[in-house]
């Protein structure tokens, strides 16, 4: 279980995360929000990439707030795949074994589940965006994380590719049975992937009964001026 308690973060005088609390069990929790609302900052704090100003992060009842990223057992998939360009797909996925994490049998299973058997000897630059996303997920899961954080990993893909990938990603993540925190601004993506939903508006996190209700709360928060400006173009339904 992942538990975030009273988390806050400011950059200078700008308060980005405002007293956020959230509990994620063995489920996929989707957080909807506009760019710049604080959702990516929240993930980076949970991953240990950024330090919070206050609050606590617990994973399986273990306080990891002050621990470095490598000691948290957290898997983090950023928006860009960030694969090692000089390594093959096989070498990228097996990279965790160098640090004593993961197991060959689990890696073989992930390769099969994500249907990447035929690209194992290729370099990342030879792959389509969809396959890069599959490999990025496989590499992260191969390290056997206790929590998965996913920061809009499919946002740069065409709709047709996303609609094919999302059910496959959901099947893999659900089979592992670990807490997944997934952020997006895409309603259809949230609907296809999530079990439970929240929305983040200007650093404040609120629960919602459905992806539609979370999306509606975000739309209501947009001013009449912004509704016809950049904020409106971020929302996808």
pLDDT tens per residue across span 60-99:
999 999 999 999 999 999 887 789 999 999 999 998 887 7
Report phi then psi at 196, rounded to 5: -135, 165
The SS3 call for residue 88 is: coil
What confidence score (pLDDT) does residue 160 get? 85
Mean pLDDT across the chain, nearest whole number? Answer: 90
Angle at 196 between CA 188 and CA 41, to 5 degrees: 80
The pLDDT of 225-237, averaged and rounded, is 52
Residue 230 pLDDT class (50, 70, 90 cuts): very low
Tally of residues, the chain: 237
What confidence score (pLDDT) does residue 203 get? 95
Evaluate if residue 39 carries a pLDDT over 50: yes
Residue 234 pLDDT class (50, 70, 90 cuts): low
**Closest by CA position to 133, among listed 149, 152, 160, 146:** 152
The domain covering 1-73+146-237 belongs, at the CATH homologous superfamily level, to P-loop containing nucleotide triphosphate hydrolases (3.40.50.300)
Contact by Cβ (8 Å): 74, 149: yes
What confidence score (pLDDT) does residue 211 get? 95
Q: What is the pTM of this model?
A: 0.89
The pLDDT of 151-175, averaged and rounded, is 88
d(CA 175, CA 126): 29
Bridging pattern class, strands 62-63 and 28-32: unpaired
Evaluate if residue 19 carries a pLDDT over 90: yes
**Closest by CA position to 64, among listed 124, 55, 36:** 55
d(CA 108, CA 104): 6
The pLDDT of 47-67, averaged and rounded, is 96
Evaluate if residue 161 carries a pLDDT over 60: yes
Across 3-12, 28-37, 155-164, 201-210, least confident range: 155-164
Evaluate if residue 236 carries a pLDDT over 80: no
The SS3 call for residue 63 is: strand
The pLDDT of 167-195, averaged and rounded, is 93
| CATH 3.40.50.300-classified regions of the chain | 1-73+146-237
Angle at 86 between CA 84 and CA 90, to 5 degrees: 70
């Amino acid at each position: 279980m992942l538990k975030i308690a009273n988390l806050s973060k400011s950059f200078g005088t700008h308060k980005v995360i405002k007293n956020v609390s959230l509990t994620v069990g063995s489920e996929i929790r989707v957080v909807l929000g506009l760019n710049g609302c604080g959702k990516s900052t929240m993930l980076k704090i949970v991953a240990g990439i950024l330090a919070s100003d206050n609050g606590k992060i617990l994973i399986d009842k273990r306080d990891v707030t002050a621990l470095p990223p490598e000691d948290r057992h957290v898997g983090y998939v950023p928006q860009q795949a960030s694969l090692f360009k000089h390594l093959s797909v096989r070498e990228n996925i097996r990279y965790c074994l160098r640090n004593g994490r993961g197991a060959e049998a689990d890696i073989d299973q992930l390769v099969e589940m994500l249907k990447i058997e035929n690209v194992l000897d290729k370099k990342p630059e030879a792959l389509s965006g969809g396959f890069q996303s599959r490999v990025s997920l496989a590499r992260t899961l191969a390290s056997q994380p206790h929590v998965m954080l996913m920061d809009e990993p499919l946002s740069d893909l065409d709709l047709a590719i996303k609609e094919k990938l999302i059910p496959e990603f959901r099947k893999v993540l659900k089979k592992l049975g670990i807490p997944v925190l997934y952020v997006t601004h895409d309603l259809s993506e949230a609907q296809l992937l999530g079990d439970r939903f929240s929305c983040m508006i200007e650093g404040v996190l609120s629960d919602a009964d459905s992806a539609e209700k979370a999306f509606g709360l975000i739309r209501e928060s947009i001013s009449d001026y912004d509704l016809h400006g950049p904020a409106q173009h971020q929302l996808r339904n």
